[in-house]
Amino acid sequence: MSTDTLMPERSGLLSPITSSPTWIRFSHTALYRYVIFPLGQIFVFVVGAALLLTVISYVIAFLFPEPRENINLVTQLNRQLPGMIISGISIGFVYAMIALGYTLVYGVLKFINFAHSEIFMVGSVSAFAILSFIGSLGGLEGWNPILLVVVTVALSAVLSGLLAVGIERVAYKPLRRAPRLVPLITAIGISYILQDVVRAIASLTINDFNLTYPTRDLDWIRNPILTLTFGEYDVRVRTTSVIIIIAAIIMLLALNYFVNGTKSGRGIRAISMDQTTAGLMGIPVNLMISLTFFIGGAFGGAAGALFGLNVGNVTPYIGFFPGLKAFTAAVLGGIGNITGALLGGILIGMIESFLNGILVYFPAVGIRYTDIITFGILIAVLIFRPSGLLGERVDEKV
């Protein structure tokens, strides 16, 4: 296996074709492979999605300049655009992080882990528990915000990751040789069990399952981190949006390094290509599968904690819709493909945010149709590219 098969640029979306020896040497350095390239990829996806949707929105505004009396769509768009993009990016990263869990497990075991949406929920509920515990020890105000977020997100990620490993051991491993439909059904069963166990625990301990984060009233959560001024309008950027974006980028870089730059990552890629042969080559298959579940679960849990910090209130039933959308994102990008999950998540988040912002001005449609249009786009993409935007499992083509 030559080194360039490890290169993520195989995806082909972003390949600045420079054949100069300096570039080739540079492109083999760790700095490029683990920092600059993935950062550039994220940047291109975000900016590309934002630009594409902005252009489409202005085309719509051009076609329907006044969809409703006294509403000039261009004026409204000018005003809403920064807010829509920021909320699209932050929810997009949440979807991308959940989608990674679906796609990693699919890549390795070829089945959809439908319990993953509940792993996300467990992440958000455990973040609530952690913050409440810290709060009960003596005031969250005294904590450094960055430290508090890091501790909360990291602990929820580890808890969720361990839970995912446990679920795999209990519900999927005994069925590994069963038909693919069987673990699918156990996954659905597990997701119901998780919902109701969490609800039972919440009801027994605090007698309520609307879990409101104690961070809600902290100044740095309530007040915007910065206020951008566009002409006469102010756009507030919420601290939690920035936290989501930064945390997601750091974790995505870490994942890229892990999968492409470490021995364990190579093991995971190997068993996703061919489990039996990889096993014969001495790769500990069960350990690698557990590791995959741990990483997927940790990403889901971290996403849940970040989402919870942003929305401020979670319930044991919160996982369903984000889980469904993240699954859509994974399929849109190409299930089994890590880069695809990232692209799909950002796209779905951005599309949703723009639709919520624009459909309001078309009373005949309305935001109730946001999900319908999002899934319509998914169907349209799958008709023309049945294996998703970036194709299913790039590795297999090597």
Partner 1 sequence: MKLKKLVTLGGLVALIGAMSVSFAAADGHTVIRIASQSPLSGGQSVLGISIRNGVELAISQLSGPLEDLGYTVEFVPFDDQATPEVGVSNAQTIVADPSILAVIGHLNSGVAIPSSEVYNDNDLVMISPANTNPAVTDRGLPTVNRVCGRDDLQGPTGAVFASQELGISSVYILHDTTAYGQGVAEYFQEQAVADGVTVLGFEGTEEESNFEGIIQPILALAPDLVYFGGIYNQTAVFISQARAAGYEGLFMGPDGFDSSEFAGIAGESGVGTYYTTVAGPASIYPNAAQFIEDYTEAFGEPPQPFAAQAYDATAIALAGIAQAAEAAGAMPARADVAAAVRATEGFEGLTGSITFDINGDPEIGLYYVQQVNAATGEEWSSNTLISTLEIPSPVHAAEMMAMEVEATPGS
Residues that bind partner 1 (CB under 8 A): 76, 79-80, 83-84, 87-88, 90-91, 208, 210, 212, 216-217, 221-222, 224, 234, 236, 238, 241, 307, 310-315, 318, 321-322, 352-353, 355-358, 360-361, 363, 366-368, 370
| DSSP per position, 250-270 | HHHHHHHHHHHHSHHHHHHHH
Contact 332, 344 (CB under 8 A): yes
CB 85 to partner 1: min, Å: 10
The angle, 0 to 180 degrees and rounded to 10, between the axes of the packed helices 145-167 and 116-138 is 140
CB 395 to partner 1: min, Å: 33
Contact 353, 295 (CB under 8 A): no
Contacts with 252 (C-beta within 8 Å, 6 or more apart), sequence order: 38, 42, 96, 97, 342
Which residue, 279 or 312, is less far from partner 1 as judged by CB?
312
Look up residue 114 and give its two tokens: 């439908």
Contact 86, 241 (CB under 8 A): yes
Which residue, 89 or 190, is less far from partner 1 as judged by CB?
89
CB 246 to partner 1: min, Å: 17
Residue among 257, 249, 259, 303 nearest 394 (CA): 259
CB 299 to partner 1: min, Å: 18
- CA–CA distance from 367 to each of 51, 71, 308, 353, 361 (Å)? 22, 17, 23, 10, 9
CB 222 to partner 1: min, Å: 6
Which residue, 76 or 290, is less far from partner 1 as judged by CB?
76
Which residue, 236 or 266, is less far from partner 1 as judged by CB?
236
C-alpha span between 394 and 334 (Å, rounded): 9
Which residue, 2 or 69, is less far from partner 1 as judged by CB?
69
At 375, which amino acid appears? F
CB 96 to partner 1: min, Å: 15
Which residue, 213 or 294, is less far from partner 1 as judged by CB?
213
CB 54 to partner 1: min, Å: 14
Which residue, 84 or 268, is less far from partner 1 as judged by CB?
84
CB 87 to partner 1: min, Å: 4
- CA–CA distance from 383 to each of 15, 102, 149, 393 (Å)? 26, 21, 42, 18
Residue among 36, 33, 185, 205 nearest 128 (CA): 205
Which residue, 79 or 176, is less far from partner 1 as judged by CB?
79
